[in-house]
Amino acid sequence: MTTEVFDRIPKHLQGFIVDQHYELYTPIDHAVWRYVMRLNKAFLSNHAHESYIEGLGKTGIDTERIPRITEMNEILRQIGWAAVCVDGFIPPGAFMEFQAYQVLVIAADIRQSKHIDYTPAPDILHEAAGHAPIIADADYAAYLQLFGDIGSKAISSARDYALYEAIRHLSIVKENRESKRIQILEAEKKLEEIQSTMGPMSEMARLRNLHWWTVEYGLIGSLKNPKIYGAGLLSSIGESINCLKDDVKKLPYTLAAADQVFDITTQQPQLFVTPDFKHLTRVLDSFAYTMAFRTGGIDGLQKALDSKAVASMVFSSGLQVSGQLDEFLTDDRNEVAYLHCKGPVMLSENNKMLPGHGKEFHAHGYGSPVGKIKNHSTLPDASAIGHPVRLEYESGVVLNGILRKILLNQKGRPMLLTFDDCTVTFRNRELFKPGWGVFDLAIGESIVSVFSGPADPEGFQLIYDVPAESTPKPSYTAAQFRLHQLYNQIRQIREESLNLKAVENIFNELTHDFPNDFLLVLEIYELIISRGALPDFLSRVSEYIHQKQSKNAWTNRILSDGLNLIK
């Protein structure tokens, strides 16, 4: 990854970035890539959105081998995007933020050959060959960035992160070559337990549904003849074919998709069809008007309280309070009267920390009244500095203290008043006492916005916790290394137009020592067909493939698809 790409990403996201380690991809990995890409390209030329095939070229994605992220970035830069490698699933909020910065996150690993048609874990086939080509379309790229910008503000529930960790763990266990059946069953059970106790869907959960039914599993065009654009469909051989069949219900894409849950472990029984990419943006914008970052108020504060995570509360003066909300009080009219965040807390304006109001200064929390002052004309000005001030709010909150300082917002209006010897009371409850130090009063008649995370991540010194469980790197036996060598030999013969003399020996060794392998025999068959040579040997290979096809339905389908492509 270049310094230019790294520098465009904020520090709190950089911990998710990993090296691609291109040298660790095996010849089998490249063969899996080639098989899937050739099949998909043949099918999707007629069934994907028109920008897909064109986008493959624009984003530098080759059919023959796994792409290098550095080479992709050289081309993505021309359309304003970039790509970085990550380890599997990353938290939804972080994923959204990368999108907001026009950075595509790509899982560096690639699926095993036994998962060639569908992988339970994100991989480079899904991310690079699924997501990247479509962002070459300007309307879709704009939607993706907007989704990231809105999604990064979405408030999660306290259970959302537990769900994410369970999904991540299951994906790792399922894709790990060393996993035992009991480990998979235990991971599936844990995920089911969490899903059954999620409660009402959070903003992030509903946005995750919209993301799934568009970015991952979206169709575009008419209900009767839709085209594919979702990355999950574009990168899944089986599902890209099955999704267009009549038994998969096609629904018009509307806000209703936000409440339609999905199952990552199986193919989807229904899909949503958008008439065009601009419609995606219209629906997303409509959804955004239901979110706390646009509505604020009690509803927004309740979401922040329930999340048990850092959020930002924006007063009508423009002051932003970032911290974990632990209480808010309402008056007799059910309007916000007071809020309190437990420490550490940061105060900001326009997403920039106010000097002297970082986490160190407000390490033990921060609270302030909210609402209208009874006689607004009594709001003190500079002439009151050094004098006692009494403020009475319509809610019943009363403040008494000696005014020390007035901080104006960028419009020149009071935003923060600092008091010494201050007392704040509400309904016979002391909310602040003189012995607690100085009191910083936020000015604002209402809370106009509430969103996830700190307003100024760098000022807050935000660092995401990188998942403790990492995707294990495969280790190989001597026999497996030998199989890799056979794959590499066939690739060399194909790409360098070498003599076919060695192919029969490779086939004999393959069938004797690696009877469960199915992909290399297809490459051997393709190689002989393309050269129009060795008719007797071709018959042997064809008969061997026919025998393998009879073993089970999955092998038959994979081999049949490969044969049809070759023919």
CATH no. for residue 240? 1.10.800.10
Tell me the C-alpha distance between 367 and 362, whole Å. Answer: 10
Q: Tell me: do 549 and 408 sit in the same domain.
A: no
User: Does 314 lie in the same domain as 275?
Assistant: no
pLDDT for the residue numbered 377: 58
pTM assigned to the model: 0.88
Residue 243 within a domain: yes
Asked whether residue 25 is assigned to any structural domain, the reply reads yes
Domain co-membership, 490 together with 410: no
Q: Which domain does 310 fall in, by range? A: 305-452
Can you list the pairs that 472-477 forms with residues at least 24 positions away whose Cβ atoms lie under 8 Å? 472/172, 472/176, 472/178, 473/24, 474/177, 476/26
- Whether 383 maps to a domain, the answer reads yes
Q: Are 187 and 170 in contact (CB under 8 A)?
A: yes
Q: What pLDDT shows up at residue 431? A: 97
Could you give the dihedral angle defined by the CA atoms of residues 17, 20, 24 and 26, in that order, rounded to the nearest 10 degrees? 120
Within a domain: 374: yes
Residue 473 lies in a domain: no
Residue 347 placed within a domain: yes
Strands 319-330 and 336-349: antiparallel
Phi-psi region of 88 (alpha: psi -120 to 50; beta: other; left: phi over 0): left
Same domain, 90 and 211: yes
Q: What is the residue whose two structure tokens read 């051997």? A: 524
> What 8-state DSSP symbol labels residue 216?
I
Whether residues 346 and 244 share a domain: the answer is: no
* Bridge partners (DSSP) listed for residue 273: 219, 252
Q: Give the DSSP letter of residue 213.
A: I
| HEC secondary structure over 481-522 | HHHHHHHHHHHHHHHCCCCHHHHHHHHHHHHHHCCCCCHHHH
pLDDT at 526: 95
Quick one: pLDDT at residue 315? 98
> What distance in Å separates the CA atoms of residue 294 and residue 450, rounded to the nearest whole number?
8
Under a CB-based contact definition with an 8 Å cutoff, are residues 124 and 101 in contact?
no
pLDDT at 3: 66
Are 269 and 145 part of one and the same domain?
A: yes
Q: Label residues 439-474 b or e (16+ Cβ within 10 Å = b).
A: bbbbbbbbbbbbbbbbbbbebbbbebeebeeebeee
- The pLDDT of residue 523: 96
Same-domain status, 348 and 486: no
CB atoms closer than 10 angstroms to residue 282: 12
Domain count, the chain: 3
Domain match, 433 and 488 both? no
DSSP, collapsed to helix, strand or coil, labels residue 428 as coil
From 382, 417, 452, the end of a domain falls on 452
Q: Determine the Cα–Cα distance for residues 216 and 222; give it in Å rounded to an integer.
A: 18
Cα 543 from Cα 540, distance rounded (Å): 5
Final residue before a domain boundary, out of 434, 452, 470? 452
434-458 pLDDT, tens digit each: 999 999 999 999 999 999 999 999 9
Spatial separation of the C-alpha atoms in residues 402 and 388, rounded to whole Å: 4
The Cα–Cα gap between 129 and 39 comes to: 12
Do 10 and 59 share a domain, yes or no?
yes
Which of these three, 416, 437, 452, is where a domain ends? Answer: 452
Beta bridge partners of 324: 310, 342
Q: Print burial letters for 197-224: b (CB count within 10 Å at least 16), e (below 16).
A: eeeebbbbbbbbbbbbbbbbbbbbeeee
299 is a domain residue: no
The token duo for 463 is 């660092």
Tokens matching residue 155 = 């408030």
Q: Which of the 8 DSSP states describes residue 222?
A: -
User: Cα–Cα distance between 504 and 541 in angstroms, integer?
Assistant: 9
- Note whether 382 and 406 are within 8 A (CB): yes
Residue 173 lies in a domain: no
Pairing of strands 336-349, 439-442: unpaired
376 and 508 together in one domain:
no
- DSSP classification of residue 558: H
**Which residues does 142 contact at the CB level (< 8 Å), separation at least 6?**
281
d(CA 409, CA 354): 10
Q: Consecutive sets of 10 residues in the chain, 567 residues long: mean pLDDT of each?
A: 74 92 95 92 90 84 91 88 92 92 92 83 86 90 95 92 89 87 92 87 94 95 95 84 91 96 81 97 97 97 96 98 98 96 96 96 96 80 94 96 96 96 96 96 97 96 87 91 97 92 95 95 95 92 93 90 89
Same domain, 388 and 508: no
> 405: domain CATH number?
2.30.30.100
Residues with Cβ < 8 Å from 548, sequence gap 6 or more?
518, 521, 555, 559
Same domain, 22 and 138: yes
Query: Taking Cα atoms as reference points, which of 326, 324, 366, 371 lies closest to residue 347?
Result: 366
Whether omega before 344 lies within 30 degrees of 0, making that bond cis, reads yes
Cα(182)–Cα(190) distance, rounded to whole angstroms? 12
